[in-house]
Structure 1
Amino acid sequence: MRRSSKSWRPRRVVASAIGLAVGLSLGVVPAQAVPGVPSAVFDPNSVRAALYRDELSGDFGLWNGPGRLFDRRTEQNLMVVDLDIESNGTVYRVGSVWQENIDGRTWKLERDLDDMAFAAAAASAQAANLRMVDQESYLVGGQRRYAGVWVENREGLNWEARRDMDRPALDAFTAAKRAAHLPIDIDQYMTSAGVRWSAVWVENTENLTWHLEPDMSSADVSARFTEYAAFRMLGLNSTPTATNGQRYAGIWVANRNGRGSYMFRDMTSKRFSETWNRMVDEGFRIVAFDRYETAAGTRYAGVWRQDSARHHWAYRVRLNERIQKELEQVPGVSVAVYENGDARYQRGFGHADIANDVPMDSGHVGDLASTSKAVAGVLTMKMVEAGQVNLSTPTRTYVPTMPGHHTHTIGQLLSNRGCVRNYINDQGETWDDTPYASALDASRMFWNDGLVCTPPTYHYSTHGYTLLGAALEAADPGTENIRQVVLDRLTTPHGLETLRPSDLSRTGVRRMTQYNGDDEVAARDIEDWKTLGGGMESNVVDLARFGDKLVRDQIIRPESQTAMWTRPDNHSSNYAYGWNVDTVNGRLIASKPGRQEPVNSAYLEVHPTQNITIAVLVNTGIEPNRATALGQCIRDIIMSAPTTRVACEPTPTTP
């Protein structure tokens, strides 16, 4: 079965490009961004950044009180580097780009000032050795108001700002500043007297070539991207005009240091969010933002800056090509590869939701199915380290109400050698639609069934992990149930927000839609009864981070890892304690696939000696296990030389 599912990707700029994305500039980029120089401070290769958009005036102004939004951001050592205020004449919304204040500079933001108050604020800032980096003009209650952002001018740079300029004034000001200054902010807006501009300039100590283009049409913007291919965009502003339609103003500066840049414009709110998620995946941070009205409604633009080495990873293109082929078989895929604590690769392909045209990204949460058992292995070893359980202790020591025929130990359950039955006829249980308060309650549904062999004989069993969960929650009396044990011991302390027991009542989760083999939406099950055996969920990034933290000894000790990845016997199975263990090209590899037919599949693989982790989520569980096959193919690619072609093509889906 071949699929026609669409893949979404940023579009390269061409003169005819219109709609959601009409700007892309990749190549050599200067270390230069609002607030401009010095580059080492305001545009390092990697820095924390955040965007808050569409905040009402009152929300943005919560300096104190229950929300304390502004204070909380400054407490995180962030500062505003780009401000956008878009008004309908009565109320306005604020967009603000925040960046890490890496050298602790003083800065300030003033808004809702009339002409005289703004002039006074600017003079006061200059007297305090602050230089302006952004200014906004807008209407409140029909009255013209202004806002500005200033930063400490430690370098003593010459700078100048003007506002409410008509076009001749702007052109004259630009000509006067061209020789020694660089534009870092341009704002274009309508007034009763017509279109007006404000601009901020700073001393061009890095001698960067630049272009300032006011009053552009949509076609002009696309044409400028072609013309300025050796430049990158610093900022974009747009406004509707009474006579010339939608107009744009932008700044381009020369590219110098090999860092990439994207600009997208004319996006709906939905498309902006999707673009944001894609940029995060690609390793870009936002540096400029604009919200504006058009004849078609509210639209958004953003400029992004390369913030990581992911874009230059040697295997990126080959992984893109291989994963793209997977969309012939499945609706959507998300992949993450970590090495020594760094995200080498994270991407979504295809659709997280076909009907609503939502592209998949690495933030979408999916069910882990039996990959949950690997998490259970780590959790159990963590409790062994704490002295709460022992692998060789009989399970009934912790759960004495368990029927006497359960002669298995904790370790035998964890290694699938407890001889507990699995699904009957390989089918799901009717309990999937029933919430259970604890693993103990769920265990009572089947623990009267006899064992299917004599421990320690290998027999794969999700049900055995439910019994394991009952023992672990009994061994940790400070918690209500096994779900709380997972949250308290793994999710929260290790910052793995989405790696947790599945809870469909958490409606704010960005879950991928699950599909059967015909791209029909499949209902999600309540999986309280099998938390450790198949009831966990995560996005692919947290799943990969879990593996990465594990191999870097941040969750359990090395000796616990060795024990977890050592098979209890050497003949019946390669299954150890929650993980499959193999040796590939001399490397120890631990992995765990998961598949819930026909709706989803997952795969986690770690290379302990190389500190490499591969994680894959697929939103269908059709045969064969798509996530496993893809994850192993990715392993083959990254274990080869970057120039070697690895022919691991997708296996056709069984009709």
Structure 2
Amino acid sequence: MRREMTAHQYGNWWHRYADEGLRQIFVGRYETADGVLSAQIWRQNRPTWSSRPEVDRIIEQEMAEDGVPGVAVAVMKDGDFVYTRGFGKADIAGDEWMDSGHVMRWASVSKALGGALAMRLHERGELDRDQAIRNYAPDVPNRFTATFEQMLGNRGCVRHYATDPKSSLKNVDADQYEAEKDADAEIASTWYADASTAAPLYYGDPLRRFSGGAVSTTCTPGQSYLYSTQSLAFAGRGFEAATGTGVKELVQQEIAGPLGLTTLRAEEAADTSVRRAKIYAGEDNVEVDRDQITGKFLGGGVESSVRDMARFGTAVLEGDVYADVDHVWDGTDHGWSYAYGWGVGTRDGHRYASKSGGQRGSDAHLLLFPDDGISIAVLINREELADADDHGTAIAWAVGDLMI
């Protein structure tokens, strides 16, 4: 029972207790000299997960390392939630506590959604994952001969961001480097209706591959690896050409709608009806404006609550998005360690599929153990500051290690 709460305090506690598996059985409001206050009584609605105290400790430890503003975590086992919780603040200035219902950016975890869409459309007969994207979208230049599978496995010879620290382009072709920086800036400041209007920004770029630890400007599609957000624009262009439907609508029709993922969508910054967490940057947690991410929708423009992210993961591992799940878990027929937006492998004999992401106002991770029925989702409303093993990744794997 809690009493003497303002409406704001009542809202914070309502969401906190709902995450912890309680249900409200009484609420009362009463007049005081300080205005209308609330009292509420809650009752345990589901058994407490035995690992909850340890998971709470792990999250609080990660948050304390460098002052993370807010974290939301959702854990599912065999199709049911065993843990949902928010920590810290969704809105620091407004003193709004984070909870599992707040909507946040998926960042590069969006790539797993792009891979899922490709697999689903392939199984529905609307495209062939082994066909070149340009076979469906002839406006794609002739040199981009990668198939959907190759493009979604980072083997399409498409560049990543111009300022990627691993890139040597600045020293190889300074003019091209500046042109690509300009294109990246345009993507980050422009709203795009679909992939067909964003993809042409990359049509003039040379093919790319890793060579000697740096990025080379020559490549044979399908034969070398280069992590690429921009490759998802090509895949999205192919989806639209094959189906005649924009990628934003395709995600709603094929994934969000059928699975009941009501918060899963392309982030539209102008839509203020969404219950979003504020986004922050730097060690002082300064609130920042949202950049435009519609141009990289399937590469880093998706948003949802952490609950819907975990539910998406469970739907994938249970075969509810596409049936041929082993094709991805085993790294496709080629034995790749990155397939359809997932890093895949084994940990202590347990197969896993994992995807992390980071961008302005986001540190995200989705971790699945298909043979154990485990889906672990983590969303944070600030990009990782410096640690290569970012907080979202560290939390997800620490929880996973408790469960397998």
- Whether the TM-score (by the shorter chain) exceeds 0.5 is yes
Q: For 1:431, which of 182, 187, 201 is the aligned residue?
A: 187
Report matched runs for 1:513-528 at 5 Å: 513-517=278-282, 518-528=284-294
Where do 5+ consecutive residues of structure 1 fail to align? 1-262, 640-655
Report the counterpart of residue 325 of structure 1 in structure 2: 61
The reply to whether residue 620 of structure 1 matches residue 376 of structure 2 is no
Distance in 2 (alpha carbons) for counterparts of 1:605 and 1:521: 28
The reply to whether residue 631 of structure 1 matches residue 392 of structure 2 is no
Judge conservation of contact 1:566–1:577 (CA < 8 Å) in 2: no
Report the counterpart of residue 281 of structure 1 in structure 2: 19
1:203-231 Cα offsets, whole Å, 9 max, x none, are: xxxxxxxxxxxxxxxxxxxxxxxxxxxxx
Deviation for aligned residue 1:383: 0.5
1:417-463 Cα offsets, whole Å, 9 max, x none, are: 00111110227533211011210100111212121121111111110
Report the counterpart of residue 298 of structure 2 in structure 1: 532
Report the counterpart of residue 575 of structure 1 in structure 2: 338
1:216-262 Cα offsets, whole Å, 9 max, x none, are: xxxxxxxxxxxxxxxxxxxxxxxxxxxxxxxxxxxxxxxxxxxxxxx
Distance in 2 (alpha carbons) for counterparts of 1:528 and 1:631: 27
The reply to whether residue 314 of structure 1 matches residue 79 of structure 2 is no
The reply to whether residue 303 of structure 1 matches residue 41 of structure 2 is yes
Distance in 1 (alpha carbons) for counterparts of 2:143 and 2:311: 39
The reply to whether residue 495 of structure 1 matches residue 251 of structure 2 is no
Distance in 1 (alpha carbons) for counterparts of 2:312 and 2:187: 29
Distance in 1 (alpha carbons) for counterparts of 2:54 and 2:288: 32
Judge conservation of contact 1:465–1:530 (CA < 8 Å) in 2: yes
The reply to whether residue 601 of structure 1 matches residue 363 of structure 2 is yes
- Matched position secondary structure for 1:348: strand
- Matched position secondary structure for 2:354: strand
Judge conservation of contact 2:188–2:295 (CA < 8 Å) in 1: yes
The reply to whether residue 592 of structure 1 matches residue 355 of structure 2 is yes
Judge conservation of contact 1:564–1:578 (CA < 8 Å) in 2: no
- Matched position secondary structure for 1:523: coil
Judge conservation of contact 2:329–2:351 (CA < 8 Å) in 1: no
Judge conservation of contact 1:504–1:526 (CA < 8 Å) in 2: yes
Deviation for aligned residue 1:530: 0.6
Aligned length: 369
Distance in 2 (alpha carbons) for counterparts of 1:561 and 1:629: 25
1:320-345 Cα offsets, whole Å, 9 max, x none, are: 11111122121111111000111100
Larger strand share, 1 or 2: 1
1:577-603 Cα offsets, whole Å, 9 max, x none, are: 21000101111000110111x531100
Distance in 2 (alpha carbons) for counterparts of 1:402 and 1:570: 25
Q: For 2:330, which of 556, 561, 566 is the aligned residue?
A: 566
Distance in 2 (alpha carbons) for counterparts of 1:302 and 1:543: 30
- Matched position secondary structure for 1:327: helix
AA at the equivalent of 1:315:
S
Q: For 2:232, which of 455, 462, 465 is the aligned residue?
A: 465
1:475-502 Cα offsets, whole Å, 9 max, x none, are: 122x3x1111111111111100112111
1:519-576 Cα offsets, whole Å, 9 max, x none, are: 111221111111111110111100001111222222221xx211122325768x6211
Distance in 1 (alpha carbons) for counterparts of 2:90 and 2:365: 17
Distance in 2 (alpha carbons) for counterparts of 1:288 and 1:506: 34
Deviation for aligned residue 1:353: 1.2
Distance in 2 (alpha carbons) for counterparts of 1:547 and 1:472: 21
Judge conservation of contact 2:116–2:322 (CA < 8 Å) in 1: yes
Report the counterpart of residue 445 of structure 1 in structure 2: 201
Report the counterpart of residue 5 of structure 2 in structure 1: 267
The reply to whether residue 386 of structure 1 matches residue 150 of structure 2 is no
Distance in 1 (alpha carbons) for counterparts of 2:155 and 2:333: 10
Deviation for aligned residue 1:630: 1.4
Distance in 1 (alpha carbons) for counterparts of 2:316 and 2:199: 29
Q: Based on CA coordinates, which of the two structures has the bigger radius of gyration?
A: 1
Distance in 1 (alpha carbons) for counterparts of 2:352 and 2:40: 41
Distance in 2 (alpha carbons) for counterparts of 1:635 and 1:336: 12
Distance in 1 (alpha carbons) for counterparts of 2:369 and 2:361: 28
Report matched runs for 1:183-202 at 5 Å: none
AA at the equivalent of 1:319:
V
Judge conservation of contact 1:496–1:542 (CA < 8 Å) in 2: yes
Judge conservation of contact 2:144–2:221 (CA < 8 Å) in 1: no
The reply to whether residue 611 of structure 1 matches residue 373 of structure 2 is yes
Distance in 1 (alpha carbons) for counterparts of 2:334 and 2:294: 34
- Matched position secondary structure for 2:18: helix
AA at the equivalent of 1:385:
E
Q: For 2:77, which of 320, 333, 339 is the aligned residue?
A: 339
Deviation for aligned residue 1:360: 0.8
Report matched runs for 1:51-130 at 5 Å: none
Report the counterpart of residue 555 of structure 1 in structure 2: 321
Distance in 2 (alpha carbons) for counterparts of 1:444 and 1:366: 28
Larger helix share, 1 or 2: 2
Judge conservation of contact 1:377–1:564 (CA < 8 Å) in 2: no
Distance in 2 (alpha carbons) for counterparts of 1:266 and 1:291: 9
Judge conservation of contact 1:336–1:544 (CA < 8 Å) in 2: yes
- Matched position secondary structure for 1:333: strand
Q: Share of identical aligned residues, percent?
A: 41
Distance in 2 (alpha carbons) for counterparts of 1:554 and 1:425: 38
Judge conservation of contact 2:329–2:352 (CA < 8 Å) in 1: no
Q: List structure 1 runs of 4+ shifted beyond 4 angstroms.
A: 568-571
Distance in 2 (alpha carbons) for counterparts of 1:450 and 1:590: 31
1:43-73 Cα offsets, whole Å, 9 max, x none, are: xxxxxxxxxxxxxxxxxxxxxxxxxxxxxxx
Distance in 2 (alpha carbons) for counterparts of 1:628 and 1:635: 10
Deviation for aligned residue 1:292: 1.4
AA at the equivalent of 2:193:
A
Which deviates further from its counterpart, 360-369 or 424-433? Answer: 424-433
Judge conservation of contact 2:330–2:345 (CA < 8 Å) in 1: no
- Matched position secondary structure for 1:471: helix
Distance in 1 (alpha carbons) for counterparts of 2:159 and 2:16: 43
